[in-house]
Amino acid sequence: MNSEQLLYKIPGVRFDEDGQATIAVWAPEAEQVQIQLVNKELKLPLRKESYGYWQLETERVRPGDLYHFIIDGKDPLPDPATLSQPEGVHGPSEAIDIQAYKWHDHDWENPFLKDYITYELHTGTFTPEGTFAAMEEKLDHLVELGITAIEIMPVSQFAGGRNWGYDGVFPYCVQDSYGGAIGLQQLVDACHRKGLAVILDVVYNHIGPEGNVLSQYGPYFTDKYNTPWGNAINFDDAWCDGVRQYFIENALMWFRDFHIDALRMDAVHAIKDFSPVHLLEEIRTRLDEYMEESGKTHYLIVEMDLNDTRFINPVSKGGYGMDAQWIDEFHHALRVSSGQERNGYYSDFEPITSLAKSYKDAYVFDGIFSEHRKRKFGVKAEGNPGSQFVVFSQNHDHVGNRMLGERTSQLVSYEMQKLLAGAVIVSPYQPFFFMGEEWSESNPFQYFVSHTDQELAEAVRKGRKSEFAAFHLEGEAPDPVSEETFNNSKLQWELLEKESHQTMFRYYKKLIELRKEMPALNSPDRNAIEVEANPEEETIIIHRWSGDTHVAGVLNFSKSVRSVILPEAVSQWQKLIASSDEEWNGLGTLPDNEDANAVNVQPESFTLFSGI
C-alpha cells in the first residue's frame, strides 16, 4: 500500500458486501487504541498504521452494535466519524451499514446550476413533527411551487433536539431526532423521484461546543488562528494531513452514500488554510475524480464574506474550483432599497444604486472603499456567469440573526414583499427562497439551541443578550434555550388556507413559472443585461435578452406612482405580470401612458414585460 492510499482512509466503521467491518481511527499521538463493544462487553485492539492511523478488520462488529473507542486506557469516547448516535452526543456510537440502503434514483440527473431554483429549509421547524419523514409529506408543495432544489440546513449530530445545526460535533453523523442516516437517505431518494435536487449545508470551519471529542483523538485544532465560533480547525499545521482527510472524506460521503447533489459550505472565509493546495481545491480535485468514476454530477457552493473570485474560478485558472457562491451583498442592497434600516454592515449600501450595481456586477464592493470595513474590498467578477451566484431577499441568517428573528413579512408591506420576490426572479443569478416566504409566513425564525450543559446554555443566553446591547434595541432577545423559542419558529402550514397567504403562494408560483419559461430570464449571461437606476424616483429598470427575446423588469421601491420609459430595443412591450394587479391583491392596473414605451407603475411594485 503506497503513502497516498494510506492517506485516503475512510474513518469510522464501514462494512463490506460480506459483512466484514473495516475500522479506521486517526489518533497520531496515541500509544494504544481499542474498540469497546458496549452490548457485547468486548474490547478489540486496533493495529497502528502509518500517518497516525489505527485500523482493524473484523467480523465481530456487526450493524446495530453500540461501541466506544478507548485511547491509551482513558475514558471511552464516541467515534469521531460516527454514523449514528442513538443516545445523543454523549452516548455510544452505533455501527450501521451506510451502504445497505436500496436506492430508487438510478435514472436521476442533477439539473444544470442555471436551472436551480432553491428553497432553504430547517428540518426541525419546517413541519410540526420536525423530521425527514414529515418533510417528505410536503415535497408536493415544493414541486407545485416550481422549486428545483431544496437546501437543508446542517444535520450533523448536535446536543439535544433543537439547534440551527451549526453546533454539530459529529460531521459524519445525521441528527438522530430528525431520522438519522436512513431517514436522510429516504428523503433524498423521495426528492429525486419528484425531480428535486438536494443541497446539504455542511460546516467545515468549526466544530460545536457540547460533545466535541475530536481533540481527545489528535490535533484537530490549532492555536495559529481564531474563529468567532471556537477553535480553528487544523488545516495547515503539524499533523494536518489526517484532519484534511477527515473533512475531505466527509464531503465525498454525502455524495457517495447519501446521493446529495450539492454541498453548501458554511462561511468558508473562516477556513484558515495557507497550504500550497487549499482544502477547498483538494475537495474539488477529489470530487472530480469521484464524478469521473461515478458518472454523476455534483456541485460545491460556498458561503463567504469575501468578494474574491479565486474561490469560484476553476483550478486551471488558479482558483479553488467552487461551482457557485452566495452573494450577501445583493441581499443587503435589496434590503436597504426596500426602506429597511441601514445600521451595522448595511450602512455600506446605498438604496437603489448599490442594488443596480449588484445586478450588473454581482459584487457591490469590487475593489472600492468600504466605509464599514475602512478599506478597499473585493475584486471584479468578470467572466463569471450568473449561475455562479446565489441571490435571495431573505435566508436563515438574515432572519434569525435579528434580535427577534422577524421575517420580511413583519418588516415591510405585502406589496413590498411581492416586489422583493420579483427582484430576485429577474436577476441573472440563481434564485433562492427561505421556507415559508412563498406564503408570507408571519412566525419568526429565531435563534435556538438545546445544550444540556447548563453552564454552556447560560453562556449562550448571556452572549445573545450582549450581542444586541450595542444596537440599543428595545426589548430582550428571546431565550435561545427555551423550547418556546423553537416552537415559535415553526412554519404555520394552515396559513396556506387563508386568502392573502394563498395569493402570495400563487404569485410566487407564477414568478417561478415565468423564470423557467422565458429564455431571457433563465439565461446566466451577465453580458446580456442593462440596468437603469433612478435613485431620486427610487426605480430600477432591468433589461435582459437572449437571442431575439427580451424582458424588462420595472422595480418601483417608492411609495408613489411612477412613470418609466421601457428600453427602446423593443418597439412594443407586453406585460407578463404586475405585482399590483388585482389578481395578486394589488392596487390595480393604471391607465396606459400616451407614450408607447412609457408605462405607469404602482407604488412598491414589480412589473415584468416581454418583447421581441
Helices (H), 338-489: 353-361, 396-400, 414-425, 454-469, 483-488
What CA–CA distance (Å, rounded) separates 250 from 256?
Answer: 10
180 is in an annotated binding site: no
For 589, residues 6+ apart whose C-beta sits below 8 A from its C-beta are 578, 580, 581, 582
What CA–CA distance (Å, rounded) separates 290 from 308?
Answer: 27
Which one of 65, 303, 366, 538 is the catalytic residue?
303
401 is in an annotated binding site: yes
What CA–CA distance (Å, rounded) separates 302 from 38?
Answer: 40
39 is in an annotated binding site: no
59 is in an annotated binding site: no
What CA–CA distance (Å, rounded) separates 436 from 145?
Answer: 11
269 is in an annotated binding site: yes
399 is in an annotated binding site: yes
Work out the angle between the directed axes of helices 328-337 and 414-425 (0-180°, nearest 10). Answer: 140
330 is in an annotated binding site: yes
310 is in an annotated binding site: no
268 is in an annotated binding site: yes
User: Is 273 a known active-site residue?
Assistant: no
372 is in an annotated binding site: no
443 is in an annotated binding site: no
- Can you list the positions of beta strands (E) in 535-573? 539-546, 549-556, 562-565
User: Is 371 a known active-site residue?
Assistant: no
397 is in an annotated binding site: yes
- 459: amino acid identity, one letter: A
Buried/exposed code over 376-385 (b: 16+ C-beta within 10 A; e: otherwise) = ebbeebeebb
Q: Which residue has the cell 500550497?
A: 276
For 143, residues 6+ apart whose C-beta sits below 8 A from its C-beta are 194, 195, 196
Is residue 345 a contact partner of residue 372, using CB atoms and an 8 Å limit? yes
For 294, residues 6+ apart whose C-beta sits below 8 A from its C-beta are 255, 256
Work out the angle between the directed axes of helices 180-193 and 240-258 (0-180°, nearest 10). Answer: 50
398 is in an annotated binding site: yes
Which one of 94, 136, 261, 266 is the catalytic residue?
266
Instruction: Output 373-381 pairs: Cβ under 8 A, ≥24 positions apart.
Output: 373/348, 377/307, 378/306, 378/307, 378/308, 379/307, 379/308, 379/309, 380/309, 381/307, 381/309
Binding-site residues:
264-269, 328-332, 396-401
- Which residues participate in the annotated binding site for substrate? 264-269, 328-332, 396-401
Q: Which active-site residues does the annotation give?
A: 266, 303
